């Protein structure tokens, strides 16, 4: 009787549990059924805080927006395909967007005439986006000739060819080991001696700025032939991408060609030495 009693008790315990599991699965809500429209709002601005009007804010999947190039994002902004929600910022850079439930909202990005923002993970509510202009500006600097132990001037010039004001511009230079910084000057920027960095305030489109570093070239700058040094420069801006570079070609002070110093090539030198030796022998006789 004991085995039968044990079986009866187990059946009473298991049967209610199995019966309870079935209704739970049956009543579980479909994930798609609980999705609903969401809203997103915020502002779009440049790094210096200036509002970006008429920018397009896009919301879509990471596969579509997160890995897209700038040109692809511009195409999507111009004509939104299925699966992407979009809106345009007002004169103050503000926007508000209702994202339909059927949109796979994973990534948010802003696109303007001046550039695009970094893709961000979608979170309903408020999201402020920052656009970095894609117009790259360059500090131009010529290759400067130098000799070991000499002093040289390294000039830099930047012309603002973009259409948005340039803010927070800076430029600094690092000299190779054995070289030394001497001085710096600029008619347009401010030089900070503590970190040897030039800075500029707002630069309007079409304006040009300049800076000059004077440095001492190390005595050990070359071994047995001329050498070109790529000096390390650092350039940055709050609103634009900035590039900079500097090259110095170092040679021996005595490095000359026959064309540069006629009459002092190797044959002429040998003749001169022979003449001096002959004169010395004549005096001894």
Q: Quick one: 100 and 59 in the same domain?
A: yes
Over residues 237-242, the mean pLDDT reads 87
Over residues 124-144, the mean pLDDT reads 90
Q: Please check the confidence at residue 49 and state whether its pLDDT lies above 60.
A: yes
Last residue of a domain, one of 95, 110, 132: 132
> Does residue 61 sit within a domain?
yes
The domain spanning residue 164 has which CATH number? 2.60.40.680
Regarding predicted confidence, which is higher, 285 or 239?
Answer: 239
> Does residue 57 sit within a domain?
yes
Over residues 26-52, the mean pLDDT reads 74
> Does residue 68 sit within a domain?
yes
Q: Quick one: 68 and 148 in the same domain?
A: no
Q: Quick one: 114 and 216 in the same domain?
A: no
Q: Quick one: 119 and 142 in the same domain?
A: no
Report the number of distinct structural domains present in the chain: 2
Q: Quick one: 147 and 246 in the same domain?
A: yes
Q: What is the pLDDT of residue 113?
A: 87
Of 30-34, 91-95, 101-105, the one with minimum mean pLDDT is 30-34
> Does residue 191 sit within a domain?
yes
Q: Show the domain range for 192.
A: 137-250
**Mean pLDDT over all residues of the chain?**
82
Q: Please check the confidence at residue 133 and state whether its pLDDT lies above 90.
A: no
Band the pLDDT of 132: cuts 50, 70, 90: confident
The domain spanning residue 81 has which CATH number? 2.60.40.4150
Q: Please check the confidence at residue 48 and state whether its pLDDT lies above 50.
A: yes
Regarding predicted confidence, which is higher, 48 or 58?
Answer: 58
Q: Quick one: 167 and 236 in the same domain?
A: yes
Q: Of 120, 97, 121, 107, which Cα lies nearest the Cα of 38?
A: 97
Of 172-176, 199-203, 249-253, 260-264, the one with minimum mean pLDDT is 260-264
d(CA 81, CA 225): 61
Over residues 1-16, the mean pLDDT reads 52
Of 92-101, 110-119, 188-197, 253-262, the one with minimum mean pLDDT is 253-262
Q: Please check the confidence at residue 199 and state whether its pLDDT lies above 60.
A: yes
Q: Quick one: 145 and 195 in the same domain?
A: yes
Q: Of 116, 239, 115, which Cα lies nearest the Cα of 168?
A: 239
d(CA 59, CA 104): 8
Over residues 232-251, the mean pLDDT reads 93
Entry pTM: 0.55
Q: What is the pLDDT of residue 179?
A: 96
> Does residue 67 sit within a domain?
yes
Q: Quick one: 117 and 148 in the same domain?
A: no
CA dihedral sign, ordered 164, 173, 222, 265: positive
């Amino acid at each position: 009787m004991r085995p039968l009693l044990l079986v009866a008790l187990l059946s009473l315990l298991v049967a209610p549990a199995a019966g309870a599991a079935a209704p739970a699965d049956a009543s579980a809500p479909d994930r798609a059924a609980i999705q609903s429209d969401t809203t997103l709002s915020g502002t779009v601005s440049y790094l210096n805080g200036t509002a970006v009007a008429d920018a397009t804010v896009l919301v879509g999947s990471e596969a579509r927006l997160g890995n897209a190039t700038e040109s692809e994002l511009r195409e999507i902004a111009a004509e939104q395909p299925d699966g992407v929600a979009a809106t345009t910022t007002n004169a103050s850079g503000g926007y508000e967007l209702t994202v339909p439930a059927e949109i796979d909202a994973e990534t948010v990005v802003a696109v303007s005439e001046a550039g695009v923002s970094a893709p961000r993970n979608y979170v309903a509510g408020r999201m402020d986006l920052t656009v970095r202009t894609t117009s790259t500006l360059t500090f131009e600097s010529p290759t400067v000739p130098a000799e070991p132990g000499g002093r040289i001037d390294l000039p830099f010039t930047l012309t603002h060819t973009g259409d948005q004001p340039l803010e927070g511009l800076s430029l600094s230079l690092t000299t190779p080991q054995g070289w030394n910084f001497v001085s710096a000057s600029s008619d347009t920027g401010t030089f900070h001696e503590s970190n040897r960095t030039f800075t500029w305030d707002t630069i309007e489109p079409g304006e040009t700025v300049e800076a000059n570093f004077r440095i001492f070239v190390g005595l050990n700058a070359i071994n047995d032939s001329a050498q070109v040094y790529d000096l390390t420069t650092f350039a940055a801006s709050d609103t634009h991408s900035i590039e900079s570079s500097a090259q110095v070609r170092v040679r021996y002070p005595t490095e000359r060609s026959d064309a540069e110093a006629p009459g002092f090539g190797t044959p002429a030198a040998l003749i001169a030495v022979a003449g001096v030796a002959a004169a010395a022998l004549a005096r001894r006789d």
